[in-house]
Structure 1
Amino acid sequence: MAPVDPHSFTDSDHPLTTHVSLTLYFDFPSSTISAATLLTLAAPFSGELTLDTRSLSISAVLDPLSLSPLPFSLSPSPPDPVLGQSLTVTVSDKAEVLILSKTSADSSALQWLSPPQTFNKTHPFVYTQCQAIHARSIFPCQDTPAARTKYSAKLNVPRKLSAVMSAKHVDRRPPVAAEAGGACEDSIWCAEDRIVEEFVMDQPIPPYLFAFAVGELGFREVGPRTRVYSEATPAVLDAAAEEFAGTEEIIRVGEKLFGAYEWERFDLLVLPPSFPYGGMENPRMVFLTPTVIKGDAAGAQVVAHELAHSWTGNLITNKNNDHFWLNEGFTTYAERRIVEEVQGEERAAMNIGIGWRGLVEDVERFKDNLEFTKLKTNQAGVDPDDVYSSVPYEKGFQFLWRIERQIGRPAFDEFLKKYIGTFKFQSIDTDMFLDFLKANIPGIGDEVDLKLWTEGTGIPPDAMEPVSDLYSKIVSLAEEFKLGRMPREDEVADWHGQEWELYLENLPKSVEASQVRALDARYRLSESKNYEVRVGFLKLGISAGCREYYSEVEKTLKEVGRMLYLRPLYTALVQGDGKEEDKVFARRVFSEACDCYHPIAKGVVEAIFAKFG
């Protein structure tokens, strides 16, 4: 007996779940969800079945046929700080188990927004973020990507609201009696002011791709298989529809490069600003931060990344988080191939350059724990959210790019399609990939040091920055800033957000306050509507001690919850020998803003404070 995953209580000797049937009752006043969860196992099982939970109250475990109770127990409190609590159910030759449970108000997967925290200020809103190990805080499950499951779901919500899921929508209807594992006809489940939204996911997915959102939702059609959803706010919907108008072209390019799109729909949901990531690749319904709506179609690059996951991540999944690069390194490579096709080589090179700078910074960030600069990591006892970084994305990309350079793009494209076709709808690990690589590209291990790339720390010597005229020009201009020369207006006339982002990333970490002020006086970067540019500049302003920008820092930290912005700004304020007044400022802003952050983002900021004091 052994765990199948360092981040799960699931035992390798137990059959894995193949289907989950859920009935969920949403109680917005208490910020809780009551759930009836029917788990179907791959085979009948006798003994103690172990499941993952976090902050769930379990009211009953039942035989679904007889509704007779089954013995169960939760591991003692306090919960494991990473894994939560194990739920052990004693069964005898059973392939199905029905569990009645209720979430807590502080579920790590859920953010409940009150009406004032939404765009329209009228109705509440709730959404999920289950990656990496947060599905267990919604319903008991084998919360490991090794367990790929199909699912069906009935969401019982207030009639004025609607729901979307990472699944096919099949019905919107009044509630009926006896749903939720025996709820009676007169219960709150069947009240007249409620509605049931039904969904089904017919393809097996890992639990972290389970996703829903409930609120006042509207949509715009932008393609034959794409709608853009958001809160029913015309301004947001119209801006999103314009930003993502080219989505169908991106899908077709992806299909040309990587094979058939297996998920039927590719809809997009623009969430409130508190969403902690740029995007989340939930199948059929990608979740996006509104900060990707930049007005210049640059947000399409985030869409390209989430689309690429439809092949690398959703079709082929890392078996556990020690092999996360198999999801993100492949997807970053695939994203840049799509961008190159749609927007050209220069734009793809810009992405590689920005990613290179992020990789260099994150390798430095983990200088005291180089384990997390490897591709194949050991995360036992470690919260995946605490060590989330660009390393699996960018080092993984660099590894695949290195192989492509070695064998040539046509041969690598052929390999990729064969890889996807061989392992689709499976969860694999690094060794399985390497075995497949060596079998299909004989001699690759003699040309590329595979062990150094996957198990070595830091950046291998055969990694490389991109080569392009635009990239070289921007890096050169950043070098000249060290000598006191900022770019002329004619040199930046054609720049968009990414050019400025790359420029700021390549500036020295310590510059004179006068230089920072002069740069902003000419180009007003502190007020940029592009958050990557604004945050890059504000980080520079903090390091230079330009306190006149702190009001803009505070505004930014209070209006968005994307960790890409929170992490660098809070870190810049509190790290090293920073002034005590900066730390006091950071803690005050966090105390006032944290209720608008998703629990995952809140935990990341609290970890920054714990690290730097």
Structure 2
Amino acid sequence: MADPHPPTSTSLCCCRKPLPVPGRPGADAARARRPHPGSARCPLVDVASASNFQSFQLNHFHLDLRLNFTLKEMTGWLVLDLFPIQPGIDTLVLDTHPSLLIHSIDCKMPGSTQLDRPVSLTYRVDPFTDYGSSLNISLPGVVVQRGKGFQITLRFTTTDGPATWWLDPPLTCGQSQPLVFTLGHSVSNRSFFPCFDTPAVKSTYSATVRVPEGVMVLMSATRSSYSKPDRVFHFSMQYPVPAYLVALVAGELKHVDVGPRSRVWAEPCLLSCALNKLGGSVERWLAVAEDLFGPYPWGRYDIVFLPPSFPIVAMENPCLTFIISSILESRDFLLIDVIHEISHGWFGNAVTNATWEDMWLSEGLATYAQRRITTLAYGEAFTCLETRFRLDALHRQLRLLGDDSPVSKLQVTFEPGVNPSTLMNLFTYEKGFCFASYLCKLCGDVSRFDAFLRVTYISQFKFSSVVAEDLIELFLDFFPALKEEGAAHREGLEFDRWLGGLGAPLYEPDLSAGGVLTRPVHQLCDLWADPAPDPNALAAFDLSTWTSFQTVLFLDRMLDRCPLPHEVMEGLSGAYSRLLASQSAEVQIRWLQMVVRSNYPPEIPAVRSFLHKHTSRMYTVPLYEDLVAGVMKCVAMETYSQTQGRLHPNLRRSLQQIIFQSPNPAPSPPPNPSPFPFPPSNPSPLYMRRDKFSQRHSPCCIHHATSIIQHVSSYSHGYDRLQRGSMSGNQR
């Protein structure tokens, strides 16, 4: 069960502090002086936020919205319950966005009643960055009284900001009704509503949403009531969440229960498939997670499957995970993605990184938790196979970027004006996972580390926001023997080096248990290294019995060798093309990238067919980039002209830039020798799938790691800030 008495104030925010040194006094005293969970007063600075969140405690906010699908607007108001915590403050500064139109702002004075008229406040909007603006609200002295709270009401309209995605019927799965959803990670929700857009601030919230007839509304909260005559939905989130986890989706959505506390929502045409893939599994995964990390904190765990225009793979909104419907094609990838988002219920949502520089606290620990769950649910071999697949991708990425790439740090430092989404990459997930695995190894037993996470880390910091040093200090206090022996300062494995060092992880867990699944992949790759492989030896490998991760690992290794000779492609096509065409898009796109990179004409019709069927960014962008980089630009232009009407406007702009505005040369060879049998080339799409956002636009794109490209468009977390793209606030 969820905590019946949740805190209602903002999160714990801690300043940067050096790691404790054995024998150095004062660590306990420093902890005693640290703000308690729920405190908002701290010296923390978030350069991605224009707000003065350090000066106020946000206890609660309420959204009242009316959705207009014709105008593609949301109009309404926002009520903030604030408490001043610093003296002499005469201005409230919130994060906003040029696409968000402010109509008026007023204030209810401390001690006023319902009959008292609110006071109109003056305000101005100033530029901040290309992903947002600052809303400066002047506060009369009688408003900001020490020890007294007050209410601010803002009336506004959202237009075409980066957080809000309006889909016309042709862009939905059913193609009959429009749909809208919001996506706030990392810093896009400032275009949804004015807010303290920083993970350091958490509060409870409620919402009222008015919609046209026949529209279902869901939010990252519990639906408290629905008035059918008025078509008004009411929601309540009783646990503190940061602004980026406030989410909404509205459209023709139906549901089916898949467990006692879980249901799947989707357009009607998807429901039976979703039930078939997830029925009974979600509760099993939740139960395993609870055995490991304690009671699930959020009450319900529902899932909504969104159309292919959804720009990322999945988003861990509390109570309601958003997942792209394309993933339903692959059981293995679906279960990994859902389990990863379940893990965020503890790591990322309940305990949140206080700064975007520490995103690994969310993604790295969630990846660790995900793999603990899959180990217990599906065995160690399966988990090791999936981990090997991801770590291979990490090393490919590192070879493309170079060992000295600043984005390879766990605790990334970014300058004012840089969108936090551009800093999220495979290192956030996999290097963070490796550090968690190293801490687990120091404990001597995985159950001891799980116990630390459950009874100490989650228990102490639940519904708070923390920095890396909080985790480390708590860890060393929980294991005093490690603290005494100086485990944080072991030569070559120093915790400071883990957090701030460049390059590959300093430690990787033992994955030998996955050998039973990875060994056949390596053997088949070795056979195809011969231009004329033995047909009898090849016949011993039946790919139809392989897991999806085995198949994509094989194709990834073959992609490393591209371009392949015509006779090799002919052999691969004859052996596998029919089988691969019947498998998921995750498998198909790898084979088709091999076709394009090797310039193998007999399979080009399959490339066209794939791009006609799949309109998701994660599947279209990599193939179009490969087509343009090679000798098949005419195929790209022809296919785009035939399919552009079914693509989301953001994706159309991306593809137009790829096809028409850039020569898009093939990437330079990696600077470092490959530890794999074949030299690497462009990474294929699932190398980046664990990164939340699978789209191309990012200040640094893995497909072109040798050149830094600034793009005008852009999750959101932009899943691939580094690799295939970022969904940041400047995307529109």
Instruction: With the length of structure 2 as denominator, give the TM-score of the two structures.
Output: 0.75
Find the counterpart in structure 1 of residue 91 from structure 2: 48
2:264 pairs with 1:213:
no
Q: Displacement of 1:2 after TM fit?
A: 8.2
2:239 pairs with 1:239:
no
2:495 pairs with 1:444:
no
Q: Displacement of 1:606 after TM fit?
A: 4.8
Give matches, 1:468-483, under 5 Å.
Answer: 468-469=514-515, 470-483=517-530
Q: Displacement of 1:357 after TM fit?
A: 1.7
Farther off after superposition, 584-593 or 145-154: 584-593
In 2, distance between residues paired with 1:357 and 1:589? 36
In 2, distance between residues paired with 1:224 and 1:594? 37
Farther off after superposition, 41-50 or 131-140: 41-50
Residue of 683, 686, 696 corresponding to 1:605? 696
In 2, distance between residues paired with 1:397 and 1:147? 25
| Offset from partner CA, 1:155-201 (integer Å, 9 cap, x none) | 11002111111101011115xxxxxxxxxxxxxxxxx7x51111000
| Offset from partner CA, 1:83-133 (integer Å, 9 cap, x none) | x111111113343211111112x2211211112222232221111111111
Is contact 1:118–1:125 with CA below 8 Å preserved after alignment? yes
Residue of 427, 431, 436 corresponding to 2:469? 431
Q: Displacement of 1:531 after TM fit?
A: 1.7
In 2, distance between residues paired with 1:365 and 1:563? 22
Q: Displacement of 1:276 after TM fit?
A: 1.8
Q: Displacement of 1:584 after TM fit?
A: 5.7
Residue of 514, 518, 529 corresponding to 2:571? 518
- In structure 2, the CA distance between the partners of 1:118 and 1:152, relative to structure 1 (3 Å rule), is same
In 2, distance between residues paired with 1:578 and 1:456? 40
- In structure 2, the CA distance between the partners of 1:338 and 1:440, relative to structure 1 (3 Å rule), is same
RMSD: 2.9
Q: Displacement of 1:319 after TM fit?
A: 1.1
Residue of 80, 91, 115 corresponding to 1:39? 80
Q: Secondary structure at the match of 2:52?
A: coil
In 2, distance between residues paired with 1:589 and 1:332? 39
Give matches, 1:345-356, under 5 Å.
Answer: 345-356=380-391
| Offset from partner CA, 1:343-395 (integer Å, 9 cap, x none) | 11111111101111221132234339711111100122322333432211111
Q: Secondary structure at the match of 1:59?
A: strand
Is contact 1:479–1:506 with CA below 8 Å preserved after alignment? no
Give matches, 1:279-290, under 5 Å.
Answer: 279-290=314-325
Farther off after superposition, 560-569 or 197-206: 560-569
Find the counterpart in structure 1 of residue 730 from structure 2: none
Is contact 2:580–2:588 with CA below 8 Å preserved after alignment? yes
Is contact 1:501–1:533 with CA below 8 Å preserved after alignment? yes
In 1, distance between residues paired with 2:615 and 2:155? 32
Residue of 262, 277, 282 corresponding to 1:226? 262
Question: Which amino acid in the other structure matches residue 453 of structure 1?
Answer: W
Find the counterpart in structure 2 of residue 422 from structure 1: 460
In 2, distance between residues paired with 1:569 and 1:367? 24
| Offset from partner CA, 1:531-556 (integer Å, 9 cap, x none) | 21112222222221235545544554
Find the counterpart in structure 1 of residue 679 from structure 2: none
2:292 pairs with 1:257:
yes
Question: Which amino acid in the other structure matches residue 568 of structure 2?
Answer: Q
Farther off after superposition, 393-402 or 512-521: 512-521
In 2, distance between residues paired with 1:297 and 1:583? 30
Find the counterpart in structure 2 of residue 390 from structure 1: 426
In 2, distance between residues paired with 1:547 and 1:252? 50
Point out which structure has higher relative CO (alpha carbons under 8 A, 6+ apart). Answer: 2
Find the counterpart in structure 1 of residue 503 from structure 2: 458
In 2, distance between residues paired with 1:372 and 1:585? 37
Q: Displacement of 1:563 after TM fit?
A: 4.8
Find the counterpart in structure 1 of residue 135 from structure 2: 87
Is contact 1:274–1:562 with CA below 8 Å preserved after alignment? yes
Q: Displacement of 1:35 after TM fit?
A: 2.5
In 2, distance between residues paired with 1:365 and 1:589? 34
Is contact 1:243–1:297 with CA below 8 Å preserved after alignment? no
In 2, distance between residues paired with 1:99 and 1:11? 17
Q: Secondary structure at the match of 1:611?
A: coil
Q: Displacement of 1:564 after TM fit?
A: 4.1
- In structure 2, the CA distance between the partners of 1:300 and 1:583, relative to structure 1 (3 Å rule), is closer
- In structure 2, the CA distance between the partners of 1:80 and 1:329, relative to structure 1 (3 Å rule), is same
- In structure 2, the CA distance between the partners of 1:107 and 1:11, relative to structure 1 (3 Å rule), is same
Q: Displacement of 1:215 after TM fit?
A: 0.6
- In structure 2, the CA distance between the partners of 1:598 and 1:282, relative to structure 1 (3 Å rule), is farther
In 1, distance between residues paired with 2:651 and 2:155? 26
Is contact 2:330–2:584 with CA below 8 Å preserved after alignment? no
In 1, distance between residues paired with 2:654 and 2:342? 24
Find the counterpart in structure 1 of residue 112 from structure 2: none
- In structure 2, the CA distance between the partners of 1:35 and 1:465, relative to structure 1 (3 Å rule), is farther
Q: Secondary structure at the match of 2:199?
A: coil
- In structure 2, the CA distance between the partners of 1:68 and 1:519, relative to structure 1 (3 Å rule), is same
Farther off after superposition, 552-561 or 540-549: 552-561
In 2, distance between residues paired with 1:33 and 1:474? 51
Question: Which amino acid in the other structure matches residue 50 of structure 1?
Answer: V
Give matches, 1:157-168, under 5 Å.
Answer: 157-168=211-222
Question: Which amino acid in the other structure matches residue 17 of structure 1?
Answer: L
Q: Displacement of 1:526 after TM fit?
A: 5.4
- In structure 2, the CA distance between the partners of 1:297 and 1:534, relative to structure 1 (3 Å rule), is closer
Find the counterpart in structure 2 of residue 99 from structure 1: 154
* Unmatched tracts of structure 1, length 5 or more: 175-191
Farther off after superposition, 40-49 or 85-94: 40-49
In 2, distance between residues paired with 1:422 and 1:400? 18
Give matches, 1:283-298, under 5 Å.
Answer: 283-294=318-329, 296=331
Find the counterpart in structure 1 of residue 45 from structure 2: 4
Is contact 1:51–1:88 with CA below 8 Å preserved after alignment? yes
Q: Secondary structure at the match of 1:605?
A: coil
Question: Which amino acid in the other structure matches residue 74 of structure 2?
Answer: I
In 1, distance between residues paired with 2:310 and 2:394? 23
In 2, distance between residues paired with 1:117 and 1:518? 38
Q: Displacement of 1:249 after TM fit?
A: 0.6
Farther off after superposition, 410-419 or 421-430: 410-419
Q: Displacement of 1:560 after TM fit?
A: 4.2
Is contact 1:50–1:88 with CA below 8 Å preserved after alignment? yes
In 2, distance between residues paired with 1:599 and 1:591? 7
In 2, distance between residues paired with 1:435 and 1:303? 31
Is contact 2:172–2:179 with CA below 8 Å preserved after alignment? yes
* Unmatched tracts of structure 2, length 5 or more: 1-41, 109-115, 145-149, 658-694, 712-732
Question: Which amino acid in the other structure matches residue 50 of structure 2?
Answer: F
Give matches, 1:549-560, under 5 Å.
Answer: 549-557=603-611, 559-560=613-614
Find the counterpart in structure 1 of residue 111 from structure 2: none
Farther off after superposition, 362-371 or 7-16: 362-371
Q: Secondary structure at the match of 2:388?
A: helix
Q: Displacement of 1:67 after TM fit?
A: 3.1
Is contact 2:330–2:586 with CA below 8 Å preserved after alignment? no
Q: Displacement of 1:11 after TM fit?
A: 2.5
Instruction: With the length of structure 1 as denominator, give the TM-score of the two structures.
Output: 0.88
